[in-house]
A and B are shown apart, each in its own frame.
Chain A
């Protein structure tokens, strides 16, 4: 990685931005699935069978992790924009690694519950 970019707050920016973009791509599919439920049981059933495929399950897991990551990194952004910083050069750096870890824990819970 370029030496300008290999530090925590840059990586947090990347994580927040890329997970946000991925969610923007995913959400229309999610609403499509919900929309199918309105159209009748058959269409929804077909979609649900598709959603049981292992690859789709794996993608779902990824999306849950991304959603959690976006949430935790987003909370950090809110904190650093709305509350005073611990020190002038510390944009709540200490929240970044736990935020990423918490997203993985959420992913783990999803694995145990769903798969």
Chain B
């Protein structure tokens, strides 16, 4: 972090809770700098009390998401060069969740909705049972695999306007999770999960705006998962076939 910088970057950072203000900092602009690098540099060199979250710094843990120039992003994998506007970065906590301090918000409602959507896996076998055979090319398994790699970053939840209009809406991540379970032969409560995902505030509230799919950093498509849930709610859960 020494003399490799090329000019200065202006960063506006949210300070406070729901009530608060933007503070402006200037940090050295560096090659290959991520938004998380910038926040860390502000915290280490100018504002030791600045609160924010991160853990892995490589796009695995999903804890570093923030709103950057009005759009939710995983900050550890977002290069400043790609998102700054006229040399300025504006960084706020994610939308649609209570703000705790500065850039950190309370994810409790987000995770509570995972439970509400029936997102808890119910085992059908114990470790003493033989391994269940799943055909990796079967349609339900392909659907589950396409949606499974969620890192729980809440970027989609923050991007969704329906969540901001309707506090009871389960949101894209929880419904995406429910869709993986509805397609999972090893889940013991597929129909219950489908019922919960279709209950009030569930998949039927989605307006297919597609903000979730546009913003998911790991390129999942919660919007497509939700369409799958809607279809299954009408025509029944996907049929599972045991491999021969």
Which stretch (A6-14, A38-46, A105-113) binds chain B? A6-14
Q: Are B231 and A77 in contact (CB under 8 A)?
A: no
Interchain CA distance A85-B207 in the complex, whole Å:
16
CB-defined contacts of B70 to chain A, threshold 8 Å: 2-4
Instruction: Give chain A's interface residue range (CB within 8 Å of chain B).
Output: 10 to 19
Q: Are B231 and A82 in contact (CB under 8 A)?
A: yes
Q: Are A17 and B159 in contact (CB under 8 A)?
A: no
CB-defined contacts of A4 to chain B, threshold 8 Å: 70-71, 159, 161, 211
Cβ of B78 under 8 Å from chain A:
no
The answer, among A13, A81, A85, for a CB contact under 8 Å with B209, is: A13
CB-defined contacts of A9 to chain B, threshold 8 Å: 208-210
With A4-B71, A4-B161, A88-B146 already in contact, the answer to whether A10 and B210 are too (CB < 8 A) is yes
Q: Are A3 and B207 in contact (CB under 8 A)?
A: no
Cβ of B221 under 8 Å from chain A:
yes
Q: Are A91 and B208 in contact (CB under 8 A)?
A: yes
Q: Are A7 and B210 in contact (CB under 8 A)?
A: yes
Residues 214 to 244 of chain B near chain A (Cβ within 8 Å): 214, 219-221, 223-224, 227, 230-231
Most buried by A among B146, B159, B161, B219: B161
By beta carbon, the residue of chain A nearest B70 is A3
The answer, among B69, B71, B209, B224, for a CB contact under 8 Å with A10, is: B209
Question: Which residues of B pack against A, CB within 8 Å?
Answer: 69-71, 146, 159, 161, 207-211, 213-214, 219-221, 223-224, 227, 230-231
Question: Which residues of A pack against B, CB within 8 Å?
Answer: 2-5, 7, 9-10, 13, 17, 77, 80-82, 85, 88-89, 91
